[in-house]
């Protein structure tokens, strides 16, 4: 059974970020003690652009500290935030669990809450500004070191030191690594896209994306998301 310890819980408020007039809550701060979680995530947390962040299917963002050594190897030691929980704007930071270990629809108990994996992260241009690396979002996408999102099946409280335990795995053949490969590498594999579109536990936005690729026989434009 997959299990790890939640090392850090982080929340943040929207603040000016990047180009003039833009805001983001990517700068999240560690908090002590159990924090309440509702259908849209931690009650103290915010998302600046609700069109693309937050909501019930992206209520909580999880990013593995396991990826930081590879990022240091790729980018060098002078990039800000690397090695720190919250570097990627996540709410949960752990060691010992990556996209290769997690499947779409996995249900985890976290503290007194129950969470379900809905999708991987689609990296955006805000990561470029966050790290001062012009193509950071593209690097996150290409490497598959994206982190993932949860929906909240049962509200409760989650705190640093709580155990994150897998309690159900309905789609063991759909690891996040496989999902990200279909999304970003084998982008027009019709059989895989049809299976992806039929996954009932996958976030609706990603099922719709798969359906549109099948209908159009083409991949959506990533430039706006990756470059801003």
Query: CA angle, 147 as apex, 145 and 153 as ends, to 5°?
Result: 160
pLDDT in tens, 173-212: 999 999 999 999 999 999 999 999 999 999 999 999 999 9
pLDDT at 18: 73
pLDDT in tens, 13-56: 988 877 777 888 899 999 999 999 999 999 999 875 655 567 89
Whether 47 contacts 54, CB under 8 Å: yes
Q: How many CB atoms lie within 10 A of CB 94?
A: 19
pLDDT in tens, 62-104: 999 999 999 999 998 789 999 999 999 999 999 999 999 999 9
Residue 54: partners with Cβ closer than 8 Å, 6 or more residues away: 40, 41, 46, 47
β-strand pairing of 60-64 with 92-94: parallel
């Amino acid at each position: 059974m997959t299990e790890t310890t939640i090392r850090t819980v982080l929340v943040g408020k929207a603040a000016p970020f990047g180009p003039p007039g833009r805001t983001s809550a990517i700068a999240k701060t560690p908090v002590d003690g159990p924090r309440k979680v509702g259908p849209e995530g931690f009650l103290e947390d915010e998302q600046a652009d609700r069109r693309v962040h937050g909501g019930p299917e992206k209520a909580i963002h999880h990013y593995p500290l396991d990826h930081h050594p590879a990022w240091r190897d790729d980018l060098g030691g002078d990039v800000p935030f690397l090695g720190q929980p919250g570097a990627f704007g996540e709410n949960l930071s752990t060691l010992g669990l990556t996209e290769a270990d997690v499947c779409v629809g996995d249900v985890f108990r976290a503290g007194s809450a129950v969470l379900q994996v809905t999708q991987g992260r689609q990296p955006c241009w805000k990561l470029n500004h966050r790290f001062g690396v012009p193509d950071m979002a593209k690097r996150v996408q290409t490497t598959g070191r994206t982190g993932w999102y949860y929906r909240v099946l049962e509200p409760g409280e989650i705190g640093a030191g709580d155990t994150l335990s897998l309690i159900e795995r309905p789609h063991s053949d759909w690891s996040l690594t496989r999902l990200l490969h279909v999304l970003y590498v084998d982008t027009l594999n019709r059989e895989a896209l049809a299976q992806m579109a039929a996954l009932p536990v996958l976030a609706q936005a990603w099922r719709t994306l798969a359906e549109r690729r099948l209908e159009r026989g083409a991949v959506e434009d990533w430039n706006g998301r990756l470059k801003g």
